[in-house]
Amino acid sequence: MAKTQLGLNPWLCIWIKPRQTIRLLVEYNVNYRFLAICAILGFWQMLWFFPFLPLHKNVALFAFLPIFLLISMIVEYLFFNLFAACIFWCGKLIKGAGKFKKIRAAIYWTSVPNIVVAILSMVMFLLIVNKEMLSTSTTIILLRVAIISQIVLGIWTFVIRLQALGEVQKFSAWMALLNLFLVVLALLIVTLVIRWSILEMTPTTA
């Protein structure tokens, strides 16, 4: 999809115009760039696990890139779908009008700032493991800048997510916050029930 078809660049405008951007995106193609974002975010997360794998000492990283890419896309795809499903069903309790795929689009498009967070995280990782590249004072300054940037981006991601979710659910950002709170509450209840069930089924020793 070209910029001229939307009248804006979604990769940039989602940062400052989340409601307008998500409205135009779901009208044009509710699945636009879904797999691409899944691949980018998922692949970055999988890379963090690579140093802990027993094979990384004997096999070059590039040999596993295709496998990592496939697995990361599947994991991120499942995550976005499950998260959107939770928001969809909990949103029904407060009269949310959004359809499942529109809610999913709002969630994964407002994850775009996380791509920048991923880049900053990778920079931090490289600085930590390669301390000899820079002086100690320079490394500390860069790490502080990266950490502060991650915090700011994390807050901003949450803000634009509320706006985009409010747009597709047809209510305010405050109601979108309530929607997310209900999701957290529901997941907490389910977790406690599962934990209680496991404890009940576990035989106690005298």
Please report, for the chain, the start and end positions of each structural domain, with discontinuous segments joined by +: 9-201
Count of other CB atoms within 10 angstroms of residue 96: 24
Which pTM value belongs to this model? 0.81
Over 80: is that where the pLDDT of 64 sits? no
Cβ pair 94, 176 in contact under 8 A: no
Higher pLDDT, 14 or 133: 14
Cβ atoms of 46 and 71 closer than 8 Å: yes
Mean pLDDT of 11-24: 92
Do residues 110 and 160 touch, judged by C-beta distance below 8 A?
yes
Residue 47 has pLDDT above 70, yes or no: no
pLDDT at 58: 53
Task: Give yes or no for a contact between 150 and 139, defined as CB atoms under 8 angstroms apart.
Answer: no
| Tokens of residue 90, six digits | 């909990």
Question: Which of these ranges, 31-35, 86-90, 143-147, has the smallest mean pLDDT?
Answer: 143-147
Query: Phi/psi zone of residue 60: left (φ > 0), alpha (ψ -120 to 50 degrees), beta?
Result: beta
Max Cα distance, the chain (Å):
73
Axis crossing angle, helix 65-92 with helix 34-49, rounded to the nearest 10: 120
Q: How confident is the model at residue 143 (pLDDT cuts 50, 70, 90)?
A: confident
Q: Is the pLDDT of residue 37 over 50?
A: yes
Give the integer Cα–Cα distance in Å for 41 and 39: 6
The whole-number pLDDT of residue 188 equals 92
Over 70: is that where the pLDDT of 54 sits? no
Q: How many Å apart are CA 21 and CA 51, to the nearest integer?
A: 38
- What SS3 string covers 119-165? HHHHHHHHHHHCHHHCCHHHHHHHHHHHHHHHHHHHHHHHHHHHHHH
Model confidence at 206, in pLDDT bands (50, 70, 90)? very low
Between residues 30 and 198, the one the model is more confident about: 30
Provide the percentage of residues in the chain whose pLDDT is more than 70: 80
Q: Which residue has the higher pLDDT, 203 or 174?
A: 174
Distance from chain centroid for Cα 84 = 12
Q: Which amino acid is at 165?
A: L
Which residue has better confidence, 147 or 45? 147
Between these two residues, 81 and 121, which has the higher pLDDT value?
81
pLDDT tens, 92-101? 999 889 899 9
Q: How far apart are CA 75 and CA 72, in angstroms?
A: 5
pLDDT, mean of residues 166-192: 92
More confident residue, 27 or 198: 27
Task: Share the mean pLDDT of the chain.
Answer: 82
